[in-house]
Chains A and B, each alone.
Chain A
């Protein structure tokens, strides 16, 4: 099963709200990713977790706070967002295998976020 699930599918929030996006995979992958995708653009990497530890943070504003509570779950906590943060947020996972680079990332369907 190569499925990554994301909830919710859609989210509308005000600039003062706090919300969370959830991502789950049961493929035993030990790398998980958050991407942001604006319309008609490729995904932009936000965060990478390897073995449940944050390994990459691509200079993302602190109003985005990732969390990896276990090897299957990845959350993205949102607080005080701006309208320009409206986008499709994609989660992905990949195996980490010694000596293998460029392994496949499997993507979830995304959460469409609208900030009012």
Chain B
């Protein structure tokens, strides 16, 4: 079985400062890992995904994430936060069953002016 833990329910940063959203996973198999973003009253948008290629994954809007097998982590980062980054972020793990995606509880990112 697989699971994912998002270590912070809420992260607050100032505009222009770095963003770090933390995610740890548990999986019996080599996982696929995803970060999705959800703005208020919207659907989920894929930011990036890891599928056993390069361990540093670049996504949209300047976000990137690094897969660290030894630490079972897949943290999301961005060098400089923008006001439009304020949203809910979900880390997701998927493994041998392509229909079985496990969502983390989510991290709400607040960006202060």
Residues in chain A within 8 A of chain B (CB atoms)? 4, 6, 31, 33, 40-43, 45, 48, 50, 55-56, 88, 90, 92, 94, 96, 100-110, 112
Contact partner of B106 (CB less than 8 A), chosen from A41, A48, A50, is A41
Question: Min CB distance, B41 to chain A, in Å?
Answer: 7
Going nearest first, the 10 A-B pairs with the smallest beta carbon separation are A102-B32, A102-B94, A42-B103, A107-B44, A109-B43, A107-B43, A48-B99, A101-B98, A110-B43, A108-B43
Contact partner of A101 (CB less than 8 A), chosen from B49, B95, B106, B108, is B95
Residues in chain B within 8 A of chain A (CB atoms)? 31-32, 34, 36, 41-46, 49, 51, 90, 94-99, 101, 103-106, 108
A109 to B38, CA, bound (A): 10
Known: A42-B104, A42-B105. A94 touches B43 (CB 8 A): no
Q: Are A101 and B44 in contact (CB under 8 A)?
A: no
Q: Which of A43, A45, A94, A110 has the most CB of B within 10 A?
A: A43
Contact partner of A109 (CB less than 8 A), chosen from B42, B97, B108, is B42
Q: Are A43 and B95 in contact (CB under 8 A)?
A: no
Q: Which of A31, A42, A90, A106 has the most CB of B within 10 A?
A: A42
Q: Are A101 and B90 in contact (CB under 8 A)?
A: no
Q: Are B46 and A43 in contact (CB under 8 A)?
A: no
Chain A residue numbers with a CB within 8 Å of B42 are: 109-110
A2 to B106, CA, bound (A): 23
Chain B residue numbers with a CB within 8 Å of A96 are: 98
A115 to B50, CA, bound (A): 38
Q: Are B51 and A102 in contact (CB under 8 A)?
A: yes
Q: Are A31 and B43 in contact (CB under 8 A)?
A: no
Q: Are A101 and B101 in contact (CB under 8 A)?
A: no
Q: Which of A31, A88, A101, A108 has the most CB of B within 10 A?
A: A101
Question: Min CB distance, A62 to chain B, in Å?
Answer: 21
Residue in chain A with minimal CB distance to B90: A42
Known: A42-B90, A42-B105. A107 touches B45 (CB 8 A): yes
Known: A90-B44, A101-B32, A109-B43. A56 touches B49 (CB 8 A): no
